[in-house]
Amino acid sequence: MKLLVVEDDATTGNYIARGLREEGHVVDLLANGRSGLIEATTGAYDVLIVDRMLPELDGLSLVKTLRGAGNRTAVLLLTAMGDVEDRIAGLNAGADDYLVKPFAFGELSARVAALARRPQSLEAETVLKAGDLEMNLVTRAVTRGGVEIDLLPREFALLEHLLRRKGRVQTRTMLLEGVWDLSFDPQTNVVETHVSRLRAKVDKPFARDLVQTVRGAGYRITE
């Protein structure tokens, strides 16, 4: 699953993200509500795990804004506020579930899995696009201008990562964490090698490049 954790406490956030990554999930971690809202509306996540008390934009407002925009991604709201009134407020804001701190990671993991099985998770994007490039996440078919492109599993994962964040620069560290699930730099050119191979397949045979290098920053895919 692809999960977004919005938690301003670094210890708690890293604890959640590390545990979920160990279970094999792709996890993005952000520390403030405004950034969380932007990422949640553009990142095509299966489940959002949102702290209630966040800087810049609180968790309730984040969820209300998402729902108001028609975003139905499942939301698990985390909070130290455990009174019945607080839980009601969270659910009325549009959260799908509510977990009170402190919590056991096993319970959080089980709740996330249950939310992912709910019908709204089926509304996630099944086709990602950039210009004339299309990726079907169900059939795992990739085409450009109607021409089928054969990608290896890691190339597919790299392209999916870039397409889900279309227009946004992805640093080497972001790619290592999101595609290879590495929280450390292996001191190899694995990212550069795979980007080069991906370009040879999705860009070189065509008239216009979609995968761009942003000098000194990283890579992005554009229209």
Q: What is the pLDDT of residues 137-172, one digit of tens each?
A: 878 899 999 999 999 999 999 999 999 888 889 999
Q: How far apart are CA 91 and CA 49, in angstroms?
A: 14
The Cα 62–Cα 8 span in angstroms is 14
Name which CATH class applies to 127-221: mainly alpha
Helices and strands counted in the chain (H then E)? 8, 11
% of residues, the chain, pLDDT over 70 = 96
State residue 121's pLDDT score.
40
Classify 16 as helix, strand or coil.
helix
Selecting from 3.40.50.2300, 3.40.1590.10, 3.40.50.10680, 3.90.10.10, what CATH number does the domain 2-123 have?
3.40.50.2300
- pLDDT recorded at residue 125: 62
Q: What residue spans define the domains of the chain?
A: 2-123, 127-221
pLDDT exceeds 80 at position 118? no
pLDDT given for residue 105 in this prediction = 93
Give the C-alpha distances (Å, rounded to integers) separating 143 from 130, 156, 195, 207. 11, 12, 17, 15
* pLDDT at residue number 123: 43
Cβ atoms of residues 74 and 116 within 8 Å: yes
Select from 202, 203, 144, 153 the least CA-distant residue to 179.
Answer: 153
Split at pLDDT 50, 70, 90, the class of 122 is very low
Mean pLDDT of 219-223: 90
Average pLDDT over residues 130-141: 90
Average pLDDT over residues 24-28: 91
Q: Tell me the percentage of the chain whose pLDDT exceeds 90.
A: 57
* H-helix or E-strand spanning residue 194: helix 190-202
This prediction has a pTM of: 0.55
Residue range 109-136: mean pLDDT, rounded = 78
Statement: residue 124 has pLDDT above 60: no
Report the pLDDT value the prediction gives residue 197, as an integer from 0 to 100: 96
Exposed / middle / buried, residue 119 (Cβ in 10 Å: 0-12, 13-18, 19+): exposed
| Region 95-105 average pLDDT | 89
Query: Which of residues 91 and 109 earns the better pLDDT score?
Result: 109
What would the mean pLDDT of 172-193 be, rounded to a whole number?
Answer: 86
Which of 78-82, 120-124, 170-174, 178-182 is the least confident region?
A: 120-124
> What does the pLDDT average to over 117-127?
59
